[in-house]
Amino acid sequence: MKNIKKTLFFFYLSSLIFFNIHPAFGWDDNTHLAAAKASGYYRWYAVVGPDIAKVKAGKIEGYNHFFDNDRNVEVTPKMVFEQVARYNNPEDMEGHLYGAIIASLREYNNHRKDAEYHIDFCVHYITDLSAPLHNVIYDDFNKTRHAENDGVIGGEVLDNINRLKRRMYQVDLRDDHFEEDLAKEIAVIANKARHLDHKLKKENRVMTKEEAYNQLAQSASLINAALKHLGKTHR
């Protein structure tokens, strides 16, 4: 099993090099699954699909998972909406994680067949949102510390769902102002993630487990609110 995992990992890295995509792994698989499970998503088991899709879809999917904020500017709702049109754009090397969240929900609303898959993508993107190194420039610190940060609680988090749930909070997304409120919450989480990255970089370290659970709880809280709007949660 270990050799199979190494082979798949090598194949994944090779595909990133071939498609000229930086390895925006996001939280590892278990961490994605835990956020979805804690949020009450009944298809929690499916939310690793977007990372699998990157292996074959390359740039088309890869750029949906991060935003290289090389100017180090505060994320605003306006910025979120400006990224929506860039969803699945294989030429947008800067990335468009924030817009991908809203765009994937619009895809859900526009599709009857296989519509649930678009929610799976959205849940995955919202989870990536709280990963600090997905909201900043892909510099030397990011390259060195990315994989460590993404997997800091991966080995235990599925066995500690309640630890994650205890950190969740209520997010209110009004039905008649859903996208507006969602964009505001996206900006809030993105900026908190950016600020944590600056702290990690200054101290030259990876997240503590406590910090990782706090970050992931932000994603789980927003996922839960979005799912309630869609009527897709049993939480």
Report the C-alpha gap between 51 and 176 in whole angstroms. 32
CB of 98 closer than 8 Å to CB of 67: yes
- pLDDT at residue number 232: 86
- Tokens standing for 160? 């500690």
At 146-157, the pLDDT tens digits run 999 999 999 999
At 91-150, the pLDDT tens digits run 999 999 999 999 999 999 998 788 999 999 999 999 999 999 999 999 999 999 999 999
The separation between CA 155 and the C-alpha centre of its own chain, rounded to angstroms, equals 18
CATH number, domain 2-230, options 1.20.1630, 2.60.40, 1.10.575, 3.40.1560? 1.10.575
- Tokens standing for 163? 């630890």
- pLDDT at residue number 111: 81
Measured CA to CA in angstroms, residue 90 lies from 13, 56, 61, 95, 105 at distances of: 18, 13, 8, 9, 19
| pTM confidence score | 0.90
Q: What is the mean pLDDT of each run of 10 residues along the chain (235 residues)?
A: 45 42 72 98 97 94 96 97 98 97 96 90 98 96 94 97 98 98 98 98 97 98 97 72
CB of 186 closer than 8 Å to CB of 97: no
- pLDDT at residue number 234: 62
Q: Can you tell me whether residue 66 is helix, strand or coil?
A: coil
The DSSP line for 112-164 is STTTHHHHHHHHHHHHHHT-GGGSS---HHHHHHHHHHHTTTTTTGGG-HHHH
Report the C-alpha gap between 2 and 147 in whole angstroms. 18
Measured CA to CA in angstroms, residue 110 lies from 31, 177, 181 at distances of: 29, 18, 20
CB of 135 closer than 8 Å to CB of 75: yes
